[in-house]
Structure formats: C-alpha cells, structure tokens
C-alpha cells in the first residue's frame, strides 16, 4: 500500500505506558518508521479536516486529543491495531476527500478496518466513496441528533453530506439508517423523504428504552458514522452543537460494541469532537472508550452471518395473511442473533445477495407471529423488488 505519502505521524504527549496499555502495543507511525501493516486488522486514522464544518470549527484538533486518552487504556487480546497517523489536509476540502477515499480504499482492499477520528462529519462522504473499488452496494448507519440532508444542489458540508451520498451517481448506497435523532431538531419533511426511499429512521426514544434494539441496526451497516453531538452535553461537552438531551456515554459505548461485533461492518468514524469545548478531556476520554468498546466487540466476532443455513442455525417460517407473505427467520445458535430472509429477483442475485438477509431482533419474530409485518422486512422487500 502506498498510503504513507498522504499521512504524517500523530503528535501524542510524551508519556510512559504500562505493558498492558495500548500505547505500549499499537504499531505507531513515528518520525522514523511507518508501521508494518502485515497481519493488522484495525487501523486508526486521524483526519483533521473541519473546513466544511457547520458551526463547529476547531474539531480538526480532535484526533491527537483522543489518542492521548486511548493509549492509556488496556489492550484487548487477539486484536492487532496500527495507528497510521493523521491525513495531511489537502489544499481544498475536495483534495482531502480524494485522499481519504484513496487511503480508506487501500485499507479496505487489504481487509483492514479503518477507525476514523474526525474532523467534521462530511468526511463520511469521502469514506463512502472509498467503497467504489469494491463494486458492491453498501449500508450506512448514522448516529446523529438530526438529519444532515441539507441541499444536494449546494456545496457539501457537515449539514448536507447525506444528500450528496444519496444523490451520488455511483449508486453504491443500498440502505441508510438514521438512529437516535431527536424530533425537535428535524424537519418532518426530511424524515418523510427518507421513509419514501425506504430508509430507516429511529428516534432516540425508540432506542433508549431498549438498547438491544440498536444491535440489529448497526449489524446491518458497512459504515458507521457517529456524530458526537448525539451524546448529551453533560457526558460529551466537546462540541459546539451538543445539547442537554441525547445518548448517555455508556449507551454510545454499547452501540460501538455492537458495531464491533458485526461481521459486516468494515469502517467506523467518530466526528465533530471539538477540543476547544472539552472539560478536562472528558469527551476525548469518552471517544477513546468508545473506540475501546468497538475493539472489544471486534474481538468477539463470531462469523455467524447465515449465508447458508446449517447446523448452527434454527430456521423458523411465519405466515402472514395480509399482505400474504411467508417470512423466514434464522436464529444463530452461537450468539442468539436473528435475521429475516427477504425474497428478491433471481436475475439480480449478484447485486442484492449481501442484503436479502436482514438483521432483526426477537421482537421482530414475535411481531410476525402476531401477523404484523416487521418494518425492517417490508422496507428491504420494497428495495429488493
């Protein structure tokens, strides 16, 4: 991989680390050495780009601010991590996007999962473009307090990057899920527009009472984009756009652990953390712990996606009369996780093969047993047929 020319070493505080801490075991990009990525599964990538941030200038300083705390956390057995430093910002934001696209595409091609520390959330667009070389449709999950649709006719920024992803001519996007949004920050027309495209939207009030319902949402993602402003101000003050309500810190960590456990997810980004507003490093510590929980989840991946049903799965058939459909459920005997099988056109098999098994929960199975159509199944069916 010829990615070193786009990167510079991180500037981390000089400190000694215990043998059990990440700072003593991460393969780091130093002034004299770029890390050997042979056998590496996770790469930490800092992107200090905030020129397209909306009202949160200063988030470019987040990567090293977070690293200073992450390196103090304990290592996780069986997870190999390299810190490849920070991306050199381009002369324009478009140049930065092209560099992000290249670096992330090279990592993905070598089965290395990038953990991006932004920077502003419009960098999700550049991460999305990195999947073009894989020539497959993908799913994106955004954890955010609002809908960043904006206007696709205007230049991209952190408030409009989603419309640029949805409208991009590459047609890579199969599904978009917006989770933990707060109703008083969104325009009802934006929510309806997403629903008309059969995308998924989940209010904060839908997720918080039963956090395990967030698991199938992130299990379906290839990309997870996490806006730090979705976390309540008391837990994560380091963002100009943070507010009194939102996810608790432990809930954010739980979502990241779910993401790490997903066999499908291949890149994750944490955005909009602004050190100028941090209180004694509180938000940086939380972001570091979010990364730790992602790695802990990654170490527990079970490779139980039911491509072919076998002895490791229980298969259930549920008939629904109106509309008349039979829904086939699979339950993993390894993890107790559930999927629904969605029929699709045979001639489109190569295009939709990754998407016809939809992650779901036990509650979706109970819903089908009561002859109610699970929303996840119906929305996937509309896109596949």
Q: How confident is the model at residue 348 (pLDDT cuts 50, 70, 90)?
A: low
**4-298 is classed in which CATH architecture?**
3-Layer(aba) Sandwich (3.40)
pLDDT at residue 244, rounded to an integer: 97
* Tokens (6 digits) for 345: 């056109």
Alpha-carbon dihedral angle through residues 294, 178, 248, 339, given to the nearest 10 degrees: -60
114 vs 170, residue with greater confidence: 114
pLDDT at residue 379, rounded to an integer: 92
pLDDT at residue 134, rounded to an integer: 86
In the predicted model, what is the mean pLDDT of the chain? 93
Least confident of 3-7, 166-170, 364-368: 166-170
Q: Is the dihedral of CA 94, 99, 105, 111 positive or negative?
A: negative
pLDDT at residue 72, rounded to an integer: 96
In the chain, CATH 3.40.800.10 sits at: 4-298
Three-state SS across the chain? CCCHHHEECCCCCCCCCCCCEHHHCCEECECCECCCCCCCCEEEEEECCCCCCCCCCCHHHHHHHHHHHHCCCECCCCCCEEEEEEECCCCCHHHHHHHHHHHHHHHHHCCCEEEEEECCCCHHHHHHHHHHHHCCCEEEEEECCCCCCCCCCCCCCCCCHHHHHHCCCCCCEEEEEEEEECHHHCCHHHHHHHHHCCCEEEEHHHHHHHHHHHHHHHHCCCEEEEEHHHECCCCCCCCCCCCCCCECHHHHHHHHHHHHHCCCCCEEEEECCCHHHCCCCHHHHHHHHHHHHHHHHHCCCCCCCCCCCCCCEEEEEEEECCCCEEEEEEEECCCCCEEEECCCCHHHHHHHCCCCEEEECHHHHHHHHCCCCCHHHHHHHHHHC
Residue 345 CA to residue 385 CA, distance in Å, equals 6
Q: How confident is the model at residue 204 (pLDDT cuts 50, 70, 90)?
A: very high
Residue 271 clears pLDDT 90, i.e. is over it: yes
State pLDDT tens for residues 272-323.
Answer: 999 999 999 999 999 999 999 999 999 999 888 776 556 789 999 999 886 7
Least confident of 74-83, 318-327, 331-340: 318-327
47 vs 321, residue with greater confidence: 47
Cα distances from 142 to residues 114, 125, 245, 305, in angstroms, run 16, 12, 17, 22
Residue 349 clears pLDDT 60, i.e. is over it: no
Percent of the chain at pLDDT exceeding 90: 85
pLDDT at residue 218, rounded to an integer: 97
* Tokens (6 digits) for 34: 């770029």
Contact 290, 270 (CB under 8 A): yes
The whole model's pTM is what?
Answer: 0.95
315 vs 1, residue with greater confidence: 315
pLDDT at residue 144, rounded to an integer: 98
Residue 337 CA to residue 300 CA, distance in Å, equals 13
pLDDT, average across residues 362-378: 94
pLDDT at residue 107, rounded to an integer: 97
The sheet with strand 338-341 has its strands ordered as: 313-320, 325-332, 338-341, 357-360
Contact 254, 218 (CB under 8 A): no
Residue 352 clears pLDDT 80, i.e. is over it: no
pLDDT at residue 136, rounded to an integer: 84
pLDDT at residue 309, rounded to an integer: 56
Residue 196 clears pLDDT 90, i.e. is over it: yes
State pLDDT tens for residues 138-184.
Answer: 999 999 999 999 877 788 999 999 999 999 998 899 999 999 999 99
**Rg of the chain (C-alpha set):** 20
Contact 3, 105 (CB under 8 A): no
Residue 213 CA to residue 277 CA, distance in Å, equals 32
Residue 384 clears pLDDT 70, i.e. is over it: yes
């Amino acid at each position: 991989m010829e990615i070193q020319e786009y990167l510079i070493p991180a500037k981390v505080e000089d400190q000694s680390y215990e043998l059990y801490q990440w700072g003593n075991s991460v393969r780091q990009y130093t002034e004299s050495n770029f890390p050997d990525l042979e056998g590496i599964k996770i790469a930490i990538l800092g992107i200090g780009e905030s020129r397209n941030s909306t009202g949160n200038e200063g988030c470019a300083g987040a990567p090293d601010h977070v690293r200073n705390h992450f390196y103090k956390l304990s290592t996780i057995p069986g997870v190999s991590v390299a810190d490849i430093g920070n991306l050199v910002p381009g002369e324009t934001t478009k140049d930065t996007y092209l560099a992000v696209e290249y670096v992330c595409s090279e990592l993905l091609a070598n089965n290395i999962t990038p953990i991006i520390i932004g920077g502003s959330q419009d960098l999700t667009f550049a991460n999305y473009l990195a999947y073009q070389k894989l020539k497959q449709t993908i799913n994106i999950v955004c954890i955010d307090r609002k809908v960043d649709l904006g206007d696709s006719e205007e230049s991209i920024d952190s408030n409009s990057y989603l419309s640029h992803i949805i409208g991009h001519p590459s047609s890579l996007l199969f599904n978009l899920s917006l989770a933990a949004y707060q109703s008083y920050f969104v325009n009802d027309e934006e929510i309806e527009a997403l629903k008309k495209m059969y995308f998924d939207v989940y209010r904060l009030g839908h997720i918080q009472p039963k956090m395990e319902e967030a698991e199938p949402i992130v299990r379906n993602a290839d990309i997870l984009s996490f806006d730090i402003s979705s976390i309540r101000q008391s837990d994560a003050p380091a963002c100009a756009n943070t507010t009194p309500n939102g996810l608790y810190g432990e809930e954010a960590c739980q979502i990241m652990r779910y993401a790490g456990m997903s066999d499908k997810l291949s890149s994750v980004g944490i955005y909009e953390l602004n050190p100028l507003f941090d209180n004694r490093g509180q938000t940086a510590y939380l972001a570091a712990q979010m990364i730790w929980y992602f790695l802990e989840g990654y170490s527990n991946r079970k490779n139980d996606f039911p491509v072919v049903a076998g002895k490791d799965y229980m298969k259930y058939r549920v008939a629904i009369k109106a509309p008349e459909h039979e829904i086939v459920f699979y339950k993993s005997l390894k993890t107790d996780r559930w999927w629904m099988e969605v029929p699709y056109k045979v001639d489109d098999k190569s295009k939709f093969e990754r998407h016809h098994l939809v992650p779901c929960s036990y509650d979706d199975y109970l819903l089908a047993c009561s002859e109610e159509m699970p929303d996840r199944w119906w929305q996937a069916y509309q896109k596949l047929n």
